[in-house]
Homo-oligomer: A and B are copies of this chain.
Amino acid sequence: MSERSYAILGTGALGGFYGAKLQKAGLDVHFLLKSDYEYVRDSGLVVESVDGDFTLPQVNAYNDVAKMPQCDVVVVALKTTQNHLLPQILPPVVKAGGVVLILQNGLAVEEEVAAIVSNVTIIGGLCFLCSNKVGAGHIRHLDYGQITLGEYASGYQACGVTEKMQQVADDFIHGGISIELTADLLLGRWKKLVWNIPYNGLSVILNARTDELMAYEHTRKLAEQLMYEVAAGAKSCDRIIPDSFIQLMLDYTVKMKPYRTSMKIDADEGRPLEVEAIFGTPLRKAQAAGVYLPQINCLYQQLKFLDGRLTVDG
C-alpha cells in the first residue's frame, strides 16, 4: 500500500471520480470543494460507474486550502478556466519534493504551474474520461477513464519515464485506472488536441454530438482538416504526429458511442468554456514559431464569441 497522500483540487466530475477511486483503493485522499462542501463533508461521495457503483460515506472534505494537510501528490482537477486561482491554492497544499499532477486539457498548463511552485515534480495527465457530476457529491462515470502521464521539464523537453511518474501510475493502477506513460508530455498534449480541437470546438459551435459530426461528409472533412492543422502546430514545436494517427482518431470517432464532448457539456451547463487552454494557447505556440493555423483560428474566434455571450447572459 502506497503511503502517498493525495490532495484533489476540484472535486467535480473528473477530480471527484479519480479521487474517489484512489480513496477506495485505500489511499489517504483530501478533497477541496466549493459549492458541494457541506454536503460532501456530511454525506461523502457517491460514484455511479460503468465499472461498478460505490459510495464513500466519509471523505476528508475542505473548503479552504489553509485547512488541508500538505500532500505528496496534488491533483489539479479544476477546469482551466479556474487556473487564475492556482497561485493562491496550490502552494499551501504541496509538500516540498512532492508532485503536482495536472489533469487538465490543453497546452502549457505545466508552464503556468512551474511558475507558481518550485522544488516539485510536475506531471501532466491526459485523461480520456466520460463522467458527469449529476448532483452534490454525486458522480456518474459513463465510459473510459484511462490517463496518459508525462513528466514536465523546462521548455517541455522530453524527459522519459521517471520514478515519480511510475509511483503515481502505480497508485492509479491500484485504484483501477488504466495508465499509459509517455516519454514526451508535449507530444502527448498535442496528440490529445488532435481529437479535442475538432470535436470540442465543432460540438459547441454546431450544437452536435460526435456521431452527427461524423455522419455528415462536410464536418467529417472539416474535422480531418482541423486535425492536420493540429499536426502542423505540433510540428512547429518539433513534435511529429503521423498521418496514421489522424486516420486512427477519425476511425475511432466513427466507431465511438455518440458522445457529448466536455466543452459541449460546459456550454449546455452555462459554464465558461476552456477556449484558451484548448485553442488559444496552441494557436499562440504555433504563431510564436511562425505557423498560422487558419481553421483552428476560425473556431477559436467563434468560440470566444459564444463563450463571451454565454458569460454575459449567465
Contact = CB atoms under 8 A, between A and B. Distances in A.
Interface of A: 202, 205-206, 208, 212-213, 216-219, 221-222, 225, 294-295, 297-302, 304-306, 308-309
A222 to B, nearest CB: 4
B294 A206 contact: no
A295 to B, nearest CB: 5
A205 B302 contact: yes
Given A295-B297, A297-B295, A308 B218 contact: yes
Please tell me how many copies of the chain the complex holds.
2
A268 to B, nearest CB: 15
B305 A208 contact: yes
Contacts of A302: 202, 205-206, 218-219, 222
Contacts of A221: 301
Contact of A206 (B216, B222, B295, B305): B305
Contacts of A206: 205, 302, 305-306
Nearest to A275: B218
Nearest to A213: B305
A301 B225 CA distance: 11
Given A295-B297, A298-B295, A299-B298, A304 B216 contact: yes
Contacts of A298: 222, 225, 294-295, 298-299
A162 to B, nearest CB: 40
Given A212-B309, A216-B308, A295-B298, 14 more contacts: A202-B302, A205-B205, A205-B206, A206-B302, A206-B305, A208-B309, A213-B305, A216-B305, A217-B304, A218-B300, A218-B305, A222-B298, A222-B302, A298-B299
A275 to B, nearest CB: 9
Lowest 9 A-B CB distances belong to which pairs?
Answer: A218-B304, A222-B301, A294-B294, A218-B301, A298-B298, A219-B305, A295-B298, A216-B305, A294-B295
Contacts of A309: 208, 212, 216
